[in-house]
């Protein structure tokens, strides 16, 4: 698409037709090899002499030959990793439309607060008398989460959403055990996050799937038909992974409770209802909250994360340790199950007390916004998702078009029928437009799914440019411009992988080529 109207000169020729450079670089699009490929085995950035007069302490553990490590000078090593960082796409680079992942802007104020010495330099084994400020922050965060959800108790130790999920389900199992009930089945809708059935299976439950009805939600009659004296819990995501609010959720919760089971709600999409709905009023017994999603701090790459769990009065006694407790005007941590204040605790879910950096970031975001600001954040997230959806409905196909979306817009691949182009091709072509692709092929209940979550932190201008890119791709696909899609991305540092081969036969370590090994 020519963007001369925006003041940018048009390309006079495609990149494939331009002459190659000597270095392999294309201006600031730098060609970067592996650190082993650019390093030299005979070079060492630090060369320390062997100390004299020191006894040999390695004994038989001394290596027979030097490790095959790359040798670089300090500037070379620094430049290598800086160049790699420039290839990474993050929320600071541009709009990050991953559906169901809530990659929102992370205010720098959060980072400034998390780096304050009183929080950043803490050690988890410090005496509690020296960390009263940190414990007070944890108490304030707990109060905020309880006010937002209306629940009775919160457990802060879980380190991520799936870890919080595990905590909530273990609390449910502990509650059944305490009441002498041996229930073996957990119901999980097909539209749930994949971690839901995995968590239930991990702690020994049989998982039974519930189908979604044609409008993408769960029918209360389907739940009633599946309930039995063996059912321990229902795990339901709300809003669900199709981006829809479960309109029968109160009736579903009542049916679950009438059968003597508990209702676990996956809170990964809490940012769509934050400040608008108290989950306790929906009949929820346990829900994890991704601090690293709902309350800013984009996640990924394994962390950092935090997944506190809020619990109903029925499950509150089974919250894990450590737990905050006030004694004689000071805060302390109950570290052992069975101790006063944790008589029925399910045990310990992590070695220490949670992720302090995430606690600080989340509370900073909460206090910056206030109650009205957090409510507006949810409203803006829903507005942005519906704006994207409405702007693409004439070209793309939406499976549940009769209902407004919540926090994310879901499309299927029926609009690509007859083009020879797939969802994956569209996602890869979006990279050429300068965007990280949306979530693809998930949720599984929608064929060829494309799931887009713009979040509340994107401006209308950035949404319009993203929408324009998708509209242009859609028109190109329908016009038969196969070259634009097959083999894309064309302009990224690396072309498309054979993803099947990469998954089945991954190359996880570098092997020196024979030509170099012989030198």
Integer Cα distance of 32 and 44 in angstroms: 20
What the block records as the tokens of 208 is 């039974």
What the block records as the tokens of 508 is 């996880």
What the block records as the tokens of 268 is 């990964």
pLDDT of 472-516, one tens digit each? 999 999 999 999 999 899 988 888 888 889 899 998 888 877 766
CA atoms within 13 A on the CB side of 54: 7
pLDDT of 25-41, one tens digit each? 777 778 888 998 888 87
User: Residue with structure tokens 């340790």?
Assistant: 321
Check whether 327 has a pLDDT greater than 90: no
Integer Cα distance of 364 and 353 in angstroms: 19
Q: Judging by beta carbons within 10 Å of its beta carbon (0-12, 13-18, 19+), is residue 325 exposed, middle or buried?
A: middle
pLDDT of 150-187, one tens digit each? 999 999 999 989 999 999 999 999 999 999 999 999 99
pLDDT of 382-411, one tens digit each? 999 999 999 999 999 999 988 899 999 999
CA atoms within 13 A on the CB side of 231: 24
Residue 14: predicted pLDDT: 57
CA distances from 431 to 89, 170, 434, 502 (A): 10, 41, 5, 19
End-to-end CA distance of the chain: 49
**CB neighbours of 508 closer than 8 A, spacing ≥ 6?**
none
Torsion of CA 102, 103, 107, 108, to 10 degrees: 140
What is the rounded radius of gyration, in angstroms, for the C-alpha atoms of the chain?
A: 27
Residue 3: predicted pLDDT: 43
Q: Which residue has the higher pLDDT, 429 or 16?
A: 429
What the block records as the tokens of 42 is 């005979």
Among 193, 106, 103, 190, smallest CA distance to 437 is for 103
Q: Judging by beta carbons within 10 Å of its beta carbon (0-12, 13-18, 19+), is residue 428 exposed, middle or buried?
A: buried
| 188-197 mean pLDDT | 90
- Mean of all residue pLDDT scores within the chain: 90
CA 355 to chain centre: 16
Residue 44: predicted pLDDT: 74
Element (H, E) at 183: none
Residue 11: predicted pLDDT: 44
CA 362 to chain centre: 15
């Amino acid at each position: 698409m020519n963007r001369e109207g925006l003041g940018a000169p048009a390309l006079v020729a495609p990149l494939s037709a331009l002459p190659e450079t000597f270095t392999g670089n294309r201006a600031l699009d730098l060609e970067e090899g592996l650190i082993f490929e650019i390093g030299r085995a005979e070079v060492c950035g630090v060369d320390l002499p062997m100390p004299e007069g020191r006894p040999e302490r390695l004994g038989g553990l001394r290596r027979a030959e030097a490790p095959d490590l790359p040798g670089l000078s300090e500037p070379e090593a620094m430049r290598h990793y800086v160049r790699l960082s420039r290839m990474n796409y993050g929320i600071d680079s541009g709009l990050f439309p991953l559906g169901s992942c809530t990659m929102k802007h992370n205010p720098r104020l959060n980072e400034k607060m998390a780096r304050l010495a009183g929080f950043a330099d803490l050690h988890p084994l410090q005496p509690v008398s020296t960390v009263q400020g940190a414990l007070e922050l944890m108490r304030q965060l707990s109060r905020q989460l309880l006010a937002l959800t209306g629940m009775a108790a919160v457990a802060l130790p879980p380190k991520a959403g799936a870890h919080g999920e595990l905590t909530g389900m273990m609390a449910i199992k502990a509650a059944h055990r305490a009441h002498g009930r041996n229930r073996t089945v957990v119901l999980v809708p097909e539209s749930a996050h994949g971690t839901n059935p995995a968590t239930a299976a991990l702690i020994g439950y049989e998982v039974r799937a519930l189908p979604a009805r044609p409008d993408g939600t769960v029918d209360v009659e389907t739940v009633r038909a599946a309930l039995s004296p063996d059912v321990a819990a229902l795990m339901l995501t709300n809003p669900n992974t199709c981006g829809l609010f479960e309109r029968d959720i109160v009736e579903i919760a009542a049916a679950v409770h009438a059968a003597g089971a508990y209702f676990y709600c996956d809170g990964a999409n809490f940012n769509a209802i934050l400040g608008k709905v108290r989950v306790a009023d929906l009949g929820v017994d346990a829900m994890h909250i991704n601090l690293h999603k709902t309350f800013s701090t984009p996640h990924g790459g394994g962390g950092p994360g935090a997944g506190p769990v809020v619990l109903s009065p029925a499950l509150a006694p089974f919250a894990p340790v450590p737990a905050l407790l006030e004694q004689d005007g000071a805060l302390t941590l109950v570290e052992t199950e069975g101790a006063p204040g944790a008589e029925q605790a399910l045990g310990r879910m992590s070695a220490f007390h949670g992720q302090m950096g995430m606690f600080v970031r989340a509370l900073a975001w909460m206090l910056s916004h206030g109650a009205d600001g957090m409510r507006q954040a949810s409203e803006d997230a829903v507005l942005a998702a519906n704006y994207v959806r409405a702007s693409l409905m004439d070209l793309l196909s939406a499976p549940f078009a009769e209902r407004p979306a919540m926090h994310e817009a879901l499309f299927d691949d029926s609009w690509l029928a007859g083009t020879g182009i797939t969802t994956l091709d569209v996602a890869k072509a979006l990279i050429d437009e300068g965007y990280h692709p949306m979530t693809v092929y998930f949720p599984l209940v929608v064929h060829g799914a494309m799931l887009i979550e713009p979040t509340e932190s994107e401006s209308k201008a950035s949404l319009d440019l993203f929408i324009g890119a998708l509209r242009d791709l859609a028109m190109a696909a329908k016009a038969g411009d196969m070259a634009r899609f097959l083999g894309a991305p064309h302009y990224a540092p690396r072309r498309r992988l054979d993803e099947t081969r990469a998954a089945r036969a991954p190359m996880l370590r570098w092997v020196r080529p024979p030509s170099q090994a012989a030198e």
